[in-house]
Amino acid sequence: MLIFTRQGNFDNLIAGIGDDVLVRARLLSRAVTGIYDDELRPFGIGAVQFTLLAVIGRTGSTTRAEIARHQHLGKSTLTRNLKAILSEGWVKEVSADDRTRPLALTAAGKEVLIRAQPAWLAAQARAKALLGNDGMTAVMNIADRILNA
């Protein structure tokens, strides 16, 4: 629990939160995710699930730990999002040793990616329009630094 000894400190804190990097980054994330969700909704898939399918499709087969590392996701967030694509039959566990259970796209998973590609491209165009060229460059550069850290 935070205790403020002076009202001025509290007022300054509250006034500065609107300009906080966290608040702005979350706003940007929700806006961009919303664009992709809107475009992908007619295909029965959301932005997060589409991204997971693409990551799994790019690797051929991959473990949950590799996906979590690549996407910077916690175990519970990844489990929740994988549950949806596993239940749709878009991804399946492939046999491996007893310690790992790699995931691979099914034919249905590949099909949903192919069918939803025009919607993904439309979302990409809308996101680029929202961010502008400088914003896109900044977002891509920041993401590359995170991925390469």
The pTM is what? Answer: 0.81
Instruction: Please write the tens of the pLDDT for every residue from 58-117.
Output: 988 888 888 888 888 888 888 898 999 999 999 998 876 667 789 999 999 999 999 999
Contact 40, 47 (CB under 8 A): yes
Contacts of 123 (CB under 8 A, 6+ apart): 35, 36, 38, 39, 40, 47
pLDDT at 35: 97
Helix (H, G, I), strand (E, B) or coil at 2: coil
Residues 124 and 59: their CA atoms lie apart, in Å, by 22
Residues 145 and 97: their CA atoms lie apart, in Å, by 34
Report which DSSP code applies to 41: G
- Domain with residues 45-147, CATH architecture: Orthogonal Bundle (1.10)
Better-scored residue on pLDDT, 109 or 16: 109
Residues 85 and 105: their CA atoms lie apart, in Å, by 10
Instruction: Please write the tens of the pLDDT for every residue from 24-60.
Output: 888 999 999 999 999 999 999 999 999 999 999 998 8
